[in-house]
Amino acid sequence: MVKIAESCLNVLYQHGLSSAQFQFYFERAKNDLLADDMACDAIVAEVMQSMDDRPDAATLFGLLLDEARMGIENDSPYGKAFLENAQKAIKARIAADAFEPLHRLKIAGLYRRAGLPVPDILMLDPEGESAADEIPMPDLDGALAVLAAEVEAEGGGAYEFFSGLDEMTAGMPEEAKAGFIHHLMGLDNPFLERCALYWLVSGAALTREAVAAGLRERLMRGELQPETASYLPIIRGWLPASAARAVIDDIGKLARRQGFADASNQNRAEPIVSDIMATTADGVGAQGLTIVGKLQARTFVAMILLKTGYGIKDAFVIRCRSKREATNIISYARQEANSVRIDRMTAELLLEAALADGMENGHPPAPGFIDVMEACSLSQLRPQERDLQALLDHVDPQKEIQNATVAQLDRMFRNASALDALVPFTDSWFEDTGETRGIIQGSRSVRTVEKRIWAFLEGRRDIWARRFLQTAIILKSAKKERMSKALAAAAFALMHKHPLQDIPLMEDIVMTTLDAGGGSPW
């Protein structure tokens, strides 16, 4: 397995991250790299030795961390195993005094970039170290100036600046990070107020408190921008009850007294949204939205990832530097699997439902969603929980499906031409959980496996009904009425305890689940 790690690094070094050669090799090798402790140890050792001189090992480690995160989110076994192996390897290197302390900060940044909690072993703690170790703390103000210059040179903005800062401080203890961020709030930097909004959305409790206090101080000094203040009530609605939220409330009261709470809307250019595309949700409930528009004659592309249980998982805005760049991005989005054009009302419905879904599960929207709201004039969006009946009413307003006879409903969800047309949108729909893997691996008889999968799906009626309805809403907006009706009828049948085996879409899910798990009778 160590040879696989070495070979993967060599392909990356020779051809580059975006090359077809590396992408092909990584897809073939990643499962072995994730599962094997010796391969993980070899990669960690290489990261430690070549963080600056040859960053390929850090790039590969970051890719594997990202795969591990997705594995954990999707209930796959390899994610947890890789993270445990990585922490063991890092701990062993630190114990052997073979890990420079500043490398801990950089590797902590890789965990943060992948959306993973930073292991305690990577946190710098100068007070807890031996005096002989003489742990050098970085010059944070100097690093800040370098980061700002790099972002500006590359044409980036506040979000890129925030991402760099977030990774740079990922290995700092929370108290130290909160103190540093509070210090930043007092600096004169055009990016920092927008960064403050990002930290309010994504930071830990102490960070949020430090940011809120810093914003209040800026307001009292007369330095807080009205535009920043205008987003605080929106973000406040995404946060749990806390000291930070109380300070935000106080800022709102003070801002109203000063009479500039609504000033941010004056003289603001309105964007023109020209195209909205959506993918249908895949087997784990992930789907993408792409919004194309123009603001002050410059094309932008907003990318949003929604995921069941996580809400708005990722979001960012690409401000295109040329027409060619915009055309390439839009062309890719249009050609993406299962992508269809939808209207603005449908996009807003999906986003409001995702906001509510994320908040219910303790996940505020991704910080970049603030930029998306601004670019696409979506500041009016608020979390709106929509139950199955509300989704059904949206896709079936005339109640044609809900008032159908049993025979009529049966014909709707058995419409052969509609089901054939749905295949590109539903071929990723299957169950891959710890429970289904246990069923498939723990049963010798194919008939027994199939029977148990059907029984498992009885408890998943609401999940699949929601998936069907979300897809039906998208396809209805895309003027694909027959497919939309077939999905909505199947969802209605699930909601009203129609036998699962009589619903063709559920039969397809069972067969695909068996095939994916190696238990298919075919």
For the segment 93-142, what is each residue's pLDDT rounded down to a tens digit? 888 876 677 778 889 999 999 999 999 989 887 555 544 444 455 566 67
Residue 288: in which H helix or E strand, if any?
strand 286-295
pTM: 0.88
Domain segments of the chain as ranges: 1-122, 140-258, 272-376, 388-517
**Angle of the 158-168 helix axis to the 140-153 helix axis, nearest 10:** 150
Closest C-alpha among 234, 111, 244, 109 to residue 178: 244
Q: What is the mean pLDDT of residues 401-411?
A: 95
Q: Could you identify the residue written with the tokens 């109203």? A: 256
pLDDT in tens, 413-426: 999 999 999 999 99
Q: What is the mean pLDDT of residues 54-76?
A: 88
pLDDT in tens, 235-257: 999 998 999 999 999 999 988 88
298 in Cβ contact with 292 (< 8 Å):
no
Closest C-alpha among 297, 274, 292 to residue 333: 292
Residue 8: in which H helix or E strand, if any?
helix 2-15
Check pLDDT > 70 for residue 226: yes
Closest C-alpha among 328, 326, 323 to residue 301: 326
